[in-house]
Amino acid sequence: MTFYRRIFPAILLCCSVNAAPALAGLFDSTPKPSSAVSDETISQIQSAFDDERYLDASKIVDQSLFSHADDPRLTYWAAELSLVHGAYQDALTNFTAAKKDPKMHDLALAGEGIALSELGRHDEAMASLQAAVKDEPSAWRAWNALGSEYDRRHDWANAEAAYANALSSSGGAAIVLNNRGFSRLSQKRPDIAIPDLVAALQKKPDLAVARSNLRLAMSMQGEYDRAIKGAPAADQAEVLNNAGFAAMLRGDYAKATELLTEAMKAKNGYYAIAAANLELTQNLAKGQ
């Protein structure tokens, strides 16, 4: 079964640093340390980031790093852009560096925890994220990532509390609603996952992961036709596979066989996941 969780969207370009912030490719010269970058520039980066104009944010960071490479705020934003881009090790390096500045410590600590989580260093991530929300209780992204860490441990009570804090601090961010819905699907509680996923889509209609999770939640309630209806052609195989897996979990083996067979037909080529699910379904049916 495929569940979806997303903390950050993907972008085309980001800043990446190792020992010190590096340019993302717009310049060939080595950055030269100088005085701090202006507050106005930082505000422009923040605004672009908030609006999900990540390419614009990256360009501003690149240009600023050329003459202000020692400013910890730029190190922090280079880390944020690396995180969004999926360059988690670069993000971790930058967050750890930015954390040394007292003014950036709390923000960077939260980012560090998120990067550690994405890198699979879950014990370290838990420690950083717990410290981050202790230092700054309104750090909703840290709460959101903390919820994910509790999910991995099947610590559902603490996961619920973490997502509640994330929702309160973020004003009900769509991605947190999706993630709590994911958590509740993981607990096989689609009845209470569906309202979260619907709310996430109402806030952000283009949040594809929430729509995929909603289809899965419907399948887990036996609403197969509703779950499949309207799925884009490119997603048909995956949607059918997920619906088939949900049917198998429900013990509805005849429907699972039908859906998984359709998933294999819809795939342009061999669909190993659906084939494995179909074999499991058939074995379970024999054991009834």
Q: What is the pLDDT of residue 1?
A: 42
Hey, CA dihedral for 105, 107, 111, 116, is it positive or negative? positive
Q: Are 166 and 147 in contact (CB under 8 A)?
A: yes
The pLDDT value given to residue 36? 79
Which pLDDT score, from 0 to 100, does residue 147 have?
A: 98
At residue 67, the pLDDT reads 85
pLDDT for residue 214: 96
Tell me which residue has tokens 């340390």. Answer: 33
pLDDT value at position 70? Answer: 87
Is there a contact between 195 and 172 (Cβ–Cβ < 8 Å)? no
3-state secondary structure the chain: CCCCCCCCCCCCCCCCCCCCCCCCCCCCCCCCCCCCCCHHHHHHHHHHHHCCCHHHHHHHHHHHHCCCCCCHHHHHHHHHHHHHHCCHHHHHHHHHHHCCCCCCHHHHHHHHHHHHHHCCCHHHHHHHHHHHHHHCCCCHHHHHHHHHHHHHCCCHHHHHHHHHHHHHHHCCCHHHHHHHHHHHHHCCCHHHHHHHHHHHHHHCCCCHHHHHHHHHHHHHCCCHHHHHCCCCHHHHHHHHHHHHHHHHHCCCHHHHHHHHHHHHHHCCCCCHHHHHHHHHHHHHHHCC
Segments in the chain below pLDDT 70: 1-35
User: What pLDDT shows up at residue 9?
Assistant: 30
- Look at residue 156 in the predicted model and tell me its pLDDT: 97
**What CA–CA distance (Å, rounded) separates 172 from 249?**
31
Asked whether 208 and 240 are in contact (CB, 8 A), the reply is: no
Angle 140-52-103 from CA coordinates, rounded to 5°: 50
Rounded CA-CA distance 135/130 in Å is 9
How confident is the model at residue 28, as a pLDDT? 43
Tokens representing residue 88 in the block: 């988690």
Predicted local distance difference test score (pLDDT) of residue 35: 64
Task: State the pTM of this model.
Answer: 0.81
What per-residue confidence (pLDDT) applies to 130? 98
Inter-CA distances, 43 with 116, 163, 169, Å: 27, 28, 21
Smallest Cα–Cα separation from 123: which of 138, 132, 108, 113?
A: 113
